[in-house]
């Protein structure tokens, strides 16, 4: 599943030397994330609802 993933980094990563996380959209709304410094290492996968809840929490905590 992750071998076909198209990984991308946030534009915010570039502001911090590119050492951040990469994300990939999987099937529909599911997401995977991994460490940019270890692209062959483990990745975390999230269902669509779990990813949405994570993003909502991050946005709300930043206010």
- In whole angstroms, give the CA distance from residue 38 to residue 3: 15
Residue 43 CB burial class (10 angstroms; 0-12, 13-18, ≥19): buried
pLDDT over 80 at 19, yes or no: no
pLDDT over 90 at 42, yes or no: yes
Domain count, the chain: 1
The model carries a pTM of 0.74
Question: In this predicted structure, what is the pLDDT of residue 55?
Answer: 87
pLDDT over 70 at 57, yes or no: yes
Question: In this predicted structure, what is the pLDDT of residue 36?
Answer: 86
Q: Are 22 and 38 in contact (CB under 8 A)?
A: no
What's the rounded mean pLDDT across residues 50-59?
A: 90
Q: Are 22 and 9 in contact (CB under 8 A)?
A: yes
Sorting pLDDT into bands at 50, 70 and 90, what band is 30?
very high
Range of the domain at 24: 2-61
């Amino acid at each position: 599943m992750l071998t076909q993933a198209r990984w991308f980094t946030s534009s915010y990563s570039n502001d911090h030397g590119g050492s951040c996380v990469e994300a990939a959209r999987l099937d529909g709304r599911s997401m995977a994330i991994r460490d940019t410094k270890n692209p062959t290492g483990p990745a975390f996968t999230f269902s669509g609802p779990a990813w949405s809840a994570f993003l909502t929490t991050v946005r709300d905590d930043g206010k």
